[in-house]
Amino acid sequence: MSPPVRIIVVGAGCRGSIYSRYAIIHPDRVQVVGVADPSKFARTKFRQLYNIADENLCEDWHTFVQRDKCADAVLICTPDQLHKEPAVAFAKKGFHILLEKPMATTVEDCLEIVKTCSQNGVMLCVGHVLRYHPSICKIKELLDSGVIGDVIHIQHLEQIGSNHFAHSYVRGNWRNEAESSCSLLAKSCHDIDLIHHWAGGRKCLKVTSFGFVSHFSKNHKPTGAANRCLDCSVEDTCPYSASKIYLNPVKQGYTGWPVSIICHSAAPDIETVTEALKTGPYGRCVYECDNDVCSNQVVNMEFEGGLTAAFSMVAFTKELCVRRTTIYGSMGELSLLNNEVRVFDFLTQKTTKHVAAVNAREEFGLTGHGGADYLLIDSFISAVTNNDPSLIISDAEESLKSHLLVFEAERSRREDRVIHLDQSG
């Protein structure tokens, strides 16, 4: 039996906390030995959960790269703009890395991370959790088996959810491109990655994209609305009211996401949530925020061999982060909805259903991306334990290719033109 993998967590917020729970389920496989986070609240929580020695509770991650190496791997779960520096520094120090998506917010930084990991012989697993989802794996398996013949067209939709968009992309951490990244990268690098995965090694030749920041702007502010929902006289007619999204749930005893996110340095209750809404970013009117990321965007791609793909991302949906996918082949049609993969065969005119078993772990939250969060960290830990990079599906090279595709799609939107991709690489 191998000793547990020792990990350090850099960024002990939502994602860092989720992945770390693996150590609670499998203490024989993983030990959280250090944490770096400027938030005292986050560090204290980690100390209580993982019994971390005081000298390994750090405000600044640089401490861990300046000292002798005290762990095998690091989970980098900092905000988007703070991925590249720690990733490069920990790679140089010989740590295997689980890096949250997006890898980084520029092409240059993504390339540097991948190069440094390769030069230092460390494994890099990017947080493309959906690649580990049983339904997604089933689609890949079915496509590779040739069950729908040649793949001709991929149609993929990401329904963000209206309240989720208001929370994360209008009021929250991913609302402003200069502070985080464009929404195609922040939200849908997963989706472009899946399309790239299903295209199965065929290179993307051309890409176009259009997208807009719709509705969430000053000119849509209702007459008489205040700048904060708790002061607003027309709040009851607004679906995006912060009282509805945060305060009403906590009054009914719910303290999970997104309520849990808004009181950074305290546990959520009626008092802390009310205070957060009075003074913090999540109490702002959605029509008075400094948001500039797209709420609806389409991306069209042409791959080698005439394979086309069309992706849509839309904020204004009832469903929360539910994807709809249909893949059209020369011999049949495959579709995914709610964990069920259906294959219609043109020859037999019959539909076969495949329900991929979802192993959602309670400890990983209500869904944990349908069990995929658990499966990603499980694969990463197995890869480190066995020194076997092949166990990582979302590896450096694959993730880099799909990230580059996102950057090119966004360039197309900005420059309002078709981008012809470099066909040499």
Output DSSP code: residue 47: H
User: Which H helix or E strand runs over 412?
Assistant: helix 396-415
Instruction: State which residue has the least CB distance to ligand NAD.
Output: 13
CA 350/CA 356 separation, integer angstroms: 19
Instruction: Closer to ligand NAD by CB, 76 or 404: give it.
Output: 76
- Told to check if 80 binds ligand NAD by CB under 6 A, we report yes
Question: What is the smallest separation between the CB atom of 377 and ligand NAD, expressed in angstroms?
Answer: 11
Q: Are strands 322-329 and 332-337 parallel, antiparallel or unpaired?
A: antiparallel
Instruction: Closer to ligand NAD by CB, 320 or 418: give it.
Output: 320
Count of other CB atoms within 10 angstroms of residue 238: 18
For residue 27, is the peptide bond before it cis, meaning its omega torsion is within 30 degrees of 0?
no
Question: What is the smallest separation between the CB atom of 346 and ligand NAD, expressed in angstroms?
Answer: 35
- Told to check if 10 binds ligand NAD by CB under 6 A, we report yes
- Give one DSSP letter per residue of 355-394, joined into a string: E------GGG-S-TTTTHHHHHHHHHHHHHHHT-GGG-SS
CA 362/CA 234 separation, integer angstroms: 39
Question: What is the smallest separation between the CB atom of 143 and ligand NAD, expressed in angstroms?
Answer: 23
Among positions 121-140, residues that touch ligand NAD (CB under 6 A) are 127, 129
CA 361/CA 23 separation, integer angstroms: 13
- Told to check if 100 binds ligand NAD by CB under 6 A, we report yes
Helix axes 107-119, 84-92, angle to 10 degrees: 10
Angle at 97 between CA 96 and CA 101, to 5 degrees: 165
Instruction: Closer to ligand NAD by CB, 10 or 192: give it.
Output: 10
Instruction: Closer to ligand NAD by CB, 128 or 354: give it.
Output: 128
Instruction: Closer to ligand NAD by CB, 4 or 370: give it.
Output: 370
- In order of 38, 160, 205, 409, 410, the CA distances from 208 in angstroms are 40, 21, 11, 6, 8
Angle at 336 between CA 296 and CA 151, to 5 degrees: 90
Among positions 25-44, residues that touch ligand NAD (CB under 6 A) are 36-39, 42
- Told to check if 310 binds ligand NAD by CB under 6 A, we report no
Instruction: Closer to ligand NAD by CB, 100 or 395: give it.
Output: 100
Instruction: Give the rounded distance of the alpha carbon of 395 from its chain centre.
Output: 15
Question: What is the smallest separation between the CB atom of 80 and ligand NAD, expressed in angstroms?
Answer: 4
Report residue 217 as tokens: 């702007």
Contact 35, 18 (CB under 8 A): no
Instruction: Closer to ligand NAD by CB, 87 or 238: give it.
Output: 87
Among 5, 7, 8, 15, binds ligand NAD (CB under 6 A): 15
- Return the range that interacts with ligand NAD (CB under 6 A); candidates 5-13, 46-54, 244-252, 322-330: 5-13
Among 82, 298, 322, 331, binds ligand NAD (CB under 6 A): 82
Among positions 47-76, residues that touch ligand NAD (CB under 6 A) are 61
- Partners of 352 in the beta sheet? 343
Among 96, 101, 138, 175, binds ligand NAD (CB under 6 A): 101
Count of other CB atoms within 10 angstroms of residue 69: 13
- Told to check if 3 binds ligand NAD by CB under 6 A, we report no
Question: What is the smallest separation between the CB atom of 102 and ligand NAD, expressed in angstroms?
Answer: 7
Residue with tokens 């772990």: 361
Question: What is the smallest separation between the CB atom of 300 and ligand NAD, expressed in angstroms?
Answer: 24
- Partners of 228 in the beta sheet? 284
Question: What is the smallest separation between the CB atom of 39 and ligand NAD, expressed in angstroms?
Answer: 4
Instruction: Closer to ligand NAD by CB, 133 or 284: give it.
Output: 133
Instruction: Closer to ligand NAD by CB, 279 or 351: give it.
Output: 279
- Told to check if 421 binds ligand NAD by CB under 6 A, we report no
Instruction: Closer to ligand NAD by CB, 161 or 332: give it.
Output: 161
CA 403/CA 325 separation, integer angstroms: 20
CA 170/CA 163 separation, integer angstroms: 10
- Told to check if 11 binds ligand NAD by CB under 6 A, we report yes
Using CB under 6 A as the criterion, which residues of the chain lie in contact with ligand NAD when the complex forms? 10-16, 36-39, 42, 61, 77-80, 82, 100-101, 127, 129, 173, 186
